[in-house]
Amino acid sequence: MLETELVDVINLISDIRHGKVYTSYDVAIHTEQLIEKLISEGQWNTAEDLMVLIKARINRIMSALPQESTPVNIMRHILKIIRELYDTGFKYKSEGQQSLHHLITSNVDNAEDYSKPLPSLRSSLLDHLAEYKTGLELSTDNIATQALEHIHADEIILTVGKSNTVEKFLKHAAEKRKFQVIVVEAAPLYHGHEMAINLTKSNIQTTVIPDSAVFAMMSRVNKVIIGTHTVMANGGLRAACGVHMVALAAKRYSVPIMVLAHMYKLSPLHLCYEQDAFNICASPADVLPYSSGPIINKVHVYNPVFDYVPPDLVTLFISHQGGNAPSYVYRLLSELYDPNDNEI
């Protein structure tokens, strides 16, 4: 694939790297727009052509931003939509999944053939995308509306750092009920401070604690509610650094942990035990300033961005469809993605 044909995705990558597109919601919206443009204006005739185009983009993003799973997840989902529309368009039975049942019953060697042109594909895809986009836009609100099911009066909720979804969730609950929030400040970025300020503006009683006080506070906490960067295929989390510690403390005191996750955060990939490459280390300046003198010559300073939280520490995922246990993530994944697209 020539570089010039990938300009759209290259620009998206560049924007993400430059920090122009920052939150995962922005990334999601931009990815959706990119795909929409590709479908409406791109040069393709058959479903296969389109899938090749999208896969090239997925590859590009995966190699340039391996830690950024949102755009890849959305594109994978769109691949699945294409497959489904194609299959229904040709009245194939849409047995998308690669199941044992499928393995036995399938008549022919299911060589995927998406090369027949389907004139209605473009318009029906765009319809689906429009639907998907509204889904995206409403996702945060849909999650927030479930707040009253989970937050009860006079409870103490603990959260870590800042997450727009969590903020909205708490604010929604605060409209009806009175409860207390403990915000872990999340060193070294201290986004927790910002979160606390935003919460107090909505008249939520908020306490900020340092990361080191999590264990001490946990005994009086009723629920931990956090956001995440990605949900891995086994139900584990790639979340902000420090969440693992909070999850362990919660486990110790049997406090339930709710993870608010949009569907586009679900990734069909597993953690290949390569914790080092899975993570990313930011500049050490937040931990030890450059002006610290000769000590800089002698030490290695690590400032990891993410934490891996194993699935057995998570109680519940809350997506716009409702709550799901980590062991159920595989079902959500099989609804979202086609197994043939897991490896591209």
Kindly state the smallest distance separating residue 43's Cβ from another protein, in Å.
19
- Identity of the amino acid at 127: D
Question: Angle CA(297)–CA(303)–CA(308) in degrees, nearest 5?
Answer: 145
Q: Contact with another protein (CB under 8 A): which of 301, 323, 336, 344?
A: 301
User: What pairs with residue 318 in β-bridges?
Assistant: 260, 323
264: helix, strand or coil: helix
Q: Are 255 and 224 in contact (CB under 8 A)?
A: yes
Q: How far apart are CA 225 and CA 260, in angstroms?
A: 7
Residue 131 C-beta: closest distance to another protein, Å? 28
Total residues interacting with another protein, rule: CB under 8 A: 55
Residue 322 contacts by C-beta under 8 Å, 6 or more apart in sequence? 146
Residue 10 in the binding site for another protein (CB under 8 A): yes
**Which positions from 33 through 92 interact with another protein, judged by CB under 8 A?**
60, 63-64, 66
Residue 206 sits at φ, ψ, to 5 deg, of -125, 140
Position among 43, 120, 254, 291 found at the interface with another protein (CB under 8 A): 291
- C-beta of residue 244 within 8 angstroms of C-beta of residue 309: yes
* Span 253-282, contacts to another protein by CB under 8 A: 270, 272-274, 276-277, 280-282
CB of 105 to another protein, least distance (A): 6
Sole binder of another protein in the list 46, 98, 124, 321 (CB under 8 A): 98
Q: Which is nearer to another protein, 96 or 182 (CB)?
A: 96
Please report whether residue 303 would count as binding another protein according to CB under 8 A: yes
Position 293 contacts another protein (CB under 8 A)? yes
DSSP 339: G
**Is residue 292 at the binding interface for another protein, with CB under 8 A as the rule?**
yes
Count how many residues are written for the chain: 344
Question: Does 207 participate in binding another protein (rule CB under 8 A)?
Answer: no
Token pair of 289, please? 């300033």
Determine, following the binding rule CB under 8 A, whether residue 297 of this chain makes contact with another protein.
yes
CA dihedral over 85, 94, 333, 61, signed as positive or negative: negative
- CA gap 94, 86 in Å, rounded: 9
Q: Does 252 bind another protein (CB under 8 A)?
A: no
From the list 41, 104, 111, 120, which residue makes contact with another protein (rule: CB under 8 A)? 104
Answer whether 27's CB lies under 8 Å from 21's CB: yes
Rule CB under 8 A: say whether 284 interacts with another protein: yes
> Rounded to an integer, what distance in angstroms lies between the CA atom of residue 210 and that of residue 212?
5
Choice from 94, 105, 115, 202 touching another protein (CB under 8 A): 105
96 is a contact residue toward another protein (CB under 8 A):
no
Task: Answer whether 96's CB lies under 8 Å from 80's CB.
Answer: yes
What is the smallest separation between the CB atom of 106 and another protein, expressed in angstroms?
9
**Beta carbon nearer to another protein, 153 or 277:** 277
The three-state (H, E, C) secondary structure of 286-319, written as one string? HCCCHHHCCHHHHCCCCCECEEEECHHHCCEEEE
Q: What residues between 324 and 343 interact with another protein by CB under 8 A? A: 327-328, 330-331, 339, 342
- Residues in contact with another protein by CB under 8 A are 3, 7, 10-11, 13-14, 17-18, 60, 63-64, 66, 98-101, 103-105, 107, 109, 233-235, 270, 272-274, 276-277, 280-286, 289-294, 296-298, 300-301, 303, 327-328, 330-331, 339, 342
